Amino acid sequence: MLTQKIEKKLNEQIIKEGYSSNLYLAMASWADTEGYAGIAQWLFAQAEEERMHMLKFVSFINERGGHAIVPSFEEPPAKFDGIKVLFDQVLAHEQYISGSINDIVGLAISENDYATHGWIQWFVTEQVEEEASVQTIIDKLKMLGEKNMYIFDRDIMGLRGAE
Ligand code: FEO
């Protein structure tokens, strides 16, 4: 059984994971309209993963006797200031998400909720992988420079993020 504090915190994470999904979907749509098919494909896949993360929180809250609330989401931006800026935004967003996953770990410990503590470890590992995969992309972008964006777009096609 979840304490009210934990249930509230996990429901807040549903909002964050769902927003992440919509943010990456908005980024994918923008990249698509700019002609970056490979980057769009990578972002569409990330949007799906974030939706899957959100669903994991929904299932866990309900399994543990809570009530997962499906929220409305803030509208993400529709336009972005270039590919490098976009991936910097993805990394900053993932770092923010890692911080909120860490907050859940901290709360689970302070509430003596070892079931939630054990369950959330998957997300701790996932965040390490996600930050690393975005950092790799940013490093490649730095090497190539904006003028070689076509090569980068081909390169990222088929590349998968953290599963
Ligand atoms: Fe579900 Fe990338 O945070």
The string of pLDDT tens digits covering residues 4-39 is 999 999 999 999 999 999 999 999 999 999 999 999
Q: pLDDT-derived band of residue 48, with 50, 70 and 90 as boundaries?
A: very high
Angle at 21 between CA 146 and CA 115, to 5 degrees: 125
Distance 52 CA to ligand 1 centre (A): 9
Q: Is pLDDT of 53 > 90?
A: yes
Q: pLDDT-derived band of residue 120, with 50, 70 and 90 as boundaries?
A: very high
DSSP string, 23-83: HHHHHHHHHHHTT-HHHHHHHHHHHHHHHHHHHHHHHHHHHTT--------PPPPS--S-H
- Find the domain containing 147 and state its range: 4-159
Q: Is 130's C-beta closer than 6 angstroms to any atom of ligand 1?
A: yes
pTM equals 0.92
C-alpha to C-alpha distance for 102 and 99, rounded to whole angstroms: 5
Tell me, what CATH number does 110's domain have?
Answer: 1.20.1260.10
Atom of ligand 1 nearest to the CA of 17: 1
Residues in the chain: 163
- Please tell me the total count of domains within the chain: 1
Work out the number of other CB atoms within 10 angstroms of the CB of residue 130: 26
Q: Is 17's C-beta closer than 6 angstroms to any atom of ligand 1?
A: yes
Q: What is the pLDDT of residues 55-99, one digit of tens each?
A: 999 999 999 999 999 999 999 999 999 999 999 999 999 999 999
